[in-house]
Amino acid sequence: MSDLKESAGRMIREFKGDRYVFGLDCLDRVGETAVLLGKRSLVVSNLGIWDPPALQRIISSLTRSEVGVIGPVPGAAPNAPREDVIRLAEIIAETKPQTIVVAD
């Protein structure tokens, strides 16, 4: 199993480089990547409903990296209903984040 995980990790790194955060500690490393792209991040997530500690780890990571957190705001429902897309577009236009972190 370890070889399979190493192979998968290698393929992800080859495909995405350092633009994709994955692994057991990935939630605690979100801020390291986000800060490279901007200092204000909109967090779009439904994790607050079913895994509040995971959402808090993401927000804490952003805060540790000195990224200002906007939200979290709920993500879209399955199949992205039009009203959800419009709601998110309005939030983005209003808050003008430099990055958007989506965690669902």
- Model confidence pLDDT, tens digit, residues 39-92: 999 999 999 899 999 999 999 999 999 999 999 999 999 999 999 999 999 999
Q: Does any domain span residue 11?
A: no
Contact 95, 44 (CB under 8 A): no
User: Which residues make beta-bridge pairs with 40?
Assistant: 68
* Domain count across the chain: 1
Sheet of strand 68-73: strand arrangement: 68-73, 40-45, 99-103
- Angstrom distance (rounded) from CA 21 to CA 99: 15
Tell which phi-psi region holds residue 79, choosing left (phi > 0), alpha (psi between -120 and 50) or beta: left
Q: Which domain holds residue 97?
A: 24-103
Q: Does any domain span residue 18?
A: no
Q: Does any domain span residue 14?
A: no
- Angstrom distance (rounded) from CA 25 to CA 31: 12
Q: Does any domain span residue 33?
A: yes
pTM score, two decimals?
Answer: 0.83
Q: Does any domain span residue 36?
A: yes
Q: Does any domain span residue 88?
A: yes
Q: Does any domain span residue 3?
A: no
